[in-house]
Amino acid sequence: MQDSIQVAAAKDGLSLKAYRSDGWVLLAFDLDQHLTSNLAGFAVQRTPPNGPAAYLLNRLSFDTPVTATTTPQERPLTPSNLAPFQKFRWMDFPGDLEPGAYTYTVTAMYFDPGGSIQLTPGASANISLELIPSQPQFQHFEMGFTRGVLSSQAYAEKFKNAPIRPNGAKTLDYDTAPFEAQYAWLGYHARKMIFGFLHECLADPEVTLDMFAYDLDEPDIVHLLQQFGPRLRAVLDNAPLHTQPGALEPEAKTRLIASAGASNVVVGHFKRFAHDKVLIKKDKDGKALKVLTGSANFSVRGLYVQDNNVLIFDDPGAADLYEQAFETAFTNMAHATQAQSASKWFDVATVGLPPFSVSFAPHTNASISLDKVSAAIQNTQSSVLFAVMELDGGGDVLKQLHELTAREGIFSYGITQAMKSSPPSQGGSPESVGINLYKPGQSNGILTSFAFLKGQVPPPFQAEVSGGMGQVIHDKFIVVDFNDKMPLVFTGSSNLAEGGEMMNGDNLLCIADRATAIAYAVEAIRLVDHYHFRAILQSATNEQPLMLQPNNVNWWAPYYDLTNIKYHDRTLFSR
């Protein structure tokens, strides 16, 4: 990947650093403490490659209270030179990316000590960088994310909370053309990668495709897979959630059997789930050439509702490791309680790829894969950032994530989703009850009720939340020491739980590369901040509304207090 950090030299006591991810950027700023008197916050101006310059907008202001009951129309957006950000970092995700350099100018804004409402600019610094993802350092590696914010003001404003598929019974045969703009926006880079991989393989008649699929109901993906005919081999999950009434996976299986042949489609679920989401490109001789993996299911929900990530390794060595796991499952699924390759981690160090290791579950003992993750968390020097679907699946890794906020000196920032089971009288199906947010300095985290989120999202998402799995936070990644000397990213299809590592078909990667670690770290921050704002908005009242702090409140003081976690927040990102 291209260098994910751009540093602007300190100027007049203000420093600026930019961390690049998948088309968005985290800006971190620092200010000499002697310059904080009367500090109102920071204005951020963005100049796209073709201009014009404009200040980023703040949802909070000095004069308009925001509460849980105010409508979006009652929450005006204010340019940050008038409503500066009262934080030492800010995320920007431009709506429509342009090729070329974006310039960001950050300015410290000050209250008039004489009481005037006019803000005065102080020190300023700027930085220029390209935001369109590229990988000149790793020509054979690509990573991308879904947008993962169906529940957002951005979606409401851009698409008026339009449904993401037709109302009524789910089907594989609806016309997706009316939804194309929404799908491209919500699926973002991850969707492009999946469809690009499929089209690339389909275009070459000598190429064959092997696939692990868990959820499989995205109509255009299923239709593309049908076009491969006998060039496709597939291992499909048949756990109860994929065979119950209303599931589309049985229909997808029937269609693939008709197009590829019964001998080319295998169904099973190991001890619990065939949980991989993998595509493997092979040449005419059956040699694996390229592999796509990650957390994103090949489904409407996986691409257009959930936050997910996708990785592509354009390398025969890496692809062959996945092909071995596929071949074991494909030829022996009836007895495939353990893959032949599941006894260790496999290291890959190839020019054009970031150094990484991969393990394939199920294992006889979860320690085979999870000890590596657990040791990394235990030995962290500065930070752990994560987005993990659930933290109640058992094992040391999830326990450690629960306990991170109690570890002194470690900056922890993460998001997960809590689940419960509905009563048997209602079918006993799992349903979502909230999103847990673990913020620095909060030992108990924050629980955001989906009752709040339900009112902000369109059907059928709303209906699925109340009557089905309802997963929104579906990612599975942990970033250790992203801004230190030896950063690591753990990701893949694994939920990082002990049970899953012994009962599911899964893959788990450990990537040892700073640029990749930064990209995932910024993604974790994006998700946490998005849902955290919604959490605090839910509890905002007329007596305690959300507003910017006035001059008589030193909002910046905790950021310079050595005993406050906000101090570590400021110094971790800005230095």
172 and 53 in a common domain? no
What would the mean pLDDT of 98-126 be, rounded to a whole number?
Answer: 91
The CATH number of the domain holding residue 476 is 3.30.870.10
82 and 52 in a common domain? yes
Q: Is the pLDDT of residue 338 over 70?
A: no
What's the residue count for the chain? 575
Confidence of residue 158 (pLDDT cuts 50, 70, 90): confident
Q: Is the pLDDT of residue 75 over 50?
A: yes
169 and 123 in a common domain? no
What would the mean pLDDT of 454-476 be, rounded to a whole number?
Answer: 54
155 and 125 in a common domain? no
**Res 392: pLDDT:** 75
100 and 79 in a common domain? yes
Q: What is the CA radius of gyration of the chain?
A: 24
CA 573 – CA 555 distance, rounded (Å): 19
Q: Does residue 84 form part of some domain?
A: yes
Give the tens place of pLDDT for each residue, 350-399.
999 999 999 999 999 999 999 999 999 999 999 999 999 887 778 999 99
237 and 89 in a common domain? no
Nearest CA among 212, 242, 205, 244 for reference residue 227: 205
Q: Is the pLDDT of residue 337 over 60?
A: no
CA 110 – CA 78 distance, rounded (Å): 17
389 and 298 in a common domain? yes
264 and 126 in a common domain? no
Q: Is the pLDDT of residue 467 over 70?
A: no
Number of domains in the chain: 2
CA 147 – CA 522 distance, rounded (Å): 13
56 and 121 in a common domain? yes
The CATH number of the domain holding residue 63 is 2.60.40.10
Report the chain's terminal Cα–Cα distance, integer Å: 22
Stretch among 8-17, 116-125, 149-158, 416-425 having the lowest mean pLDDT: 416-425
Task: Tell me the Ramachandran region of residue 127: left when phi exceeds 0, alpha when psi lies from -120 to 50, beta otherwise.
Answer: beta
CA 556 – CA 566 distance, rounded (Å): 9
What would the mean pLDDT of 218-233 be, rounded to a whole number?
Answer: 98
371 and 280 in a common domain? yes
Distance of CA 23 to the CA centre of its chain: 13
361 and 282 in a common domain? yes
Q: Is the pLDDT of residue 459 over 70?
A: no
Give the tens place of pLDDT for each residue, 305-327.
889 999 999 999 999 999 999 99
Contact 280/477 with Cβ under 8 angstroms? no
**Residues 6+ positions from 351 with CB-CB distance below 8 Å:** none
Assign 3-class secondary structure to 165-198. Answer: CCCCCCCCCCCCHHHHHHHHHHHHHHHHHHHHHH
489, 512, 535 - which closes a domain: 512
What would the mean pLDDT of 488-511 be, rounded to a whole number?
Answer: 96
Q: Does residue 472 form part of some domain?
A: yes
**Res 137: pLDDT:** 73
Q: Is the pLDDT of residue 79 over 90?
A: yes
Give the tens place of pLDDT for each residue, 249-305.
999 999 999 999 999 999 999 989 999 999 999 999 999 999 999 999 999 999 998
Cα torsion 341, 344, 350, 354: sign: positive
> Residue 88 belongs to what domain range?
5-134
82, 112, 134 - which closes a domain: 134
Its pTM stands at 0.93
Residue 368: CB atoms within 10 Å = 19
